[in-house]
Amino acid sequence: MPRLFLLTLGLLPWIPVFLCEITTEEELAVLEGGSLTIPCHYEPQFAGYVKYWCQGRIREFCTSMAQTDELPSADTSEARVSISDDPVQQVFTVTMRDMKEADSGWYMCGVKIGGVWSTDDSAFTHIKVVHGMSIVNSRVSGEEGSSVTVECLYSEKYRESERKWCRSGDWNSCRRTGPDGSYEDASVAISDDRTGAFTVTLKKLQMRDAGWYWCSAGQQKVGVHVLVSARPTAAAVSVTSAPTPSPTVEHLPPQKSSANCWHRHSRVWVSVVVCSTLLLLLCVALLARKLWKLHMKDPSLRKSNAMTGTYKEFAGEDMQSAAVIILSKDSPLMY
């Protein structure tokens, strides 16, 4: 039994102690040249622990990129990878800037636990850096006579390409940026600072401006829907109601991804099954050895074994000393 206890202690490091202590998004995508912020959620007991971000899927071979116990650089806005921890919200965030296609791959959110019986807790995410275009808000709305702004994002590959803003189905309506990356008339203003985004401002909205439009860079384009609501009439404005307090907006953290949680559950069950099987085999081996020792100590069984051995010994001697007599039919009988 002491050996069984020692073996159980030896297997403890291989059994995950916590379930789903860290969670993050399973997969993320970002345009080349853009930035990406990744939230890593953890449980309250890890508030005071060191958090880290590394590239890879195996901790021992994971390339460290940032951790919370490192001194931040003088200008964090210029750092390509930065990390910050919010113990109140129980989340640490990682920001990666100026993403390249080579940055695609697996990354790890981790908490340094240390100790003899515990390993670091972690969660994985796969990041894909792509070429093309995207948009911050695919649907914008404004009141008649007001203005709305659309932000169009493009990858580094299209930084030198012409930017356009077109009404869907009418390519003659396209407004194109000039050499300085800008365009403006009475109804549309386009501004591009060549950092991976350009903004389109629709001025003095009219009801006929409602519909679908395209942000375009090179051969890439993405759709935007503009909704224009009618301006309230004077009669409607004159009817006032008691002011209502503005609702309090509570910033909740993004919903935790269940994919990593399920993956960690499966690993826990595999570890439990393997360890249970090993312990069961060990118990069977110990029981067999115990029964064998009892069998050898039983006096009646030992006496029976001794008698059997004596009988075999005598039988062997008789067989060796036995004479063989062969009688033929012509031999006289002796009386």
Sorted by sequence, the CB contacts under 8 Å of residue 296 that are 6+ apart come out as 302
Q: What is the pLDDT of residues 132-186, one digit of tens each?
A: 888 888 899 999 999 999 999 988 888 888 889 999 988 788 999 888 888 999 9
pLDDT score at 253: 41
DSSP line for 14-59: GS--SSS-EE--SEEEEETT--EEEEEEE-GGGTTS-EEEEESSSG
Q: In this structure, what token pair is assigned to residue 327?
A: 């009688």
DSSP string for 297-308 = H-HHHHHHHHHH
Buried b (16+ CB within 10 A) or exposed e, 63-98: eebbbbeeeeeeeeeeeeebbebeeeebbbbbbbee
- State residue 8's pLDDT score: 47
Which pLDDT score, from 0 to 100, does residue 89 have? 92
Give the C-alpha separation, 317 to 131, whole Å: 95
The pair of three-digit structure tokens given for residue 187, joined into one six-digit string: 């109804």
Residue by residue, pLDDT tens for the chain (335 residues) are 455 445 444 544 444 444 457 899 899 988 888 889 999 999 999 999 999 999 998 888 899 999 998 876 655 556 899 999 999 999 999 999 989 989 999 999 999 987 655 678 899 999 999 888 888 888 999 999 999 999 999 888 888 888 899 999 887 889 998 888 889 999 999 999 788 889 999 999 999 999 999 999 888 889 999 999 998 876 555 544 444 444 333 333 444 444 455 444 455 555 666 667 878 888 888 888 888 887 777 666 555 555 555 444 444 444 444 444 444 455 454 44
Q: Please state, in angstroms and rounded to a whole number, the distance separating the CA atoms of residues 73 and 95.
A: 14
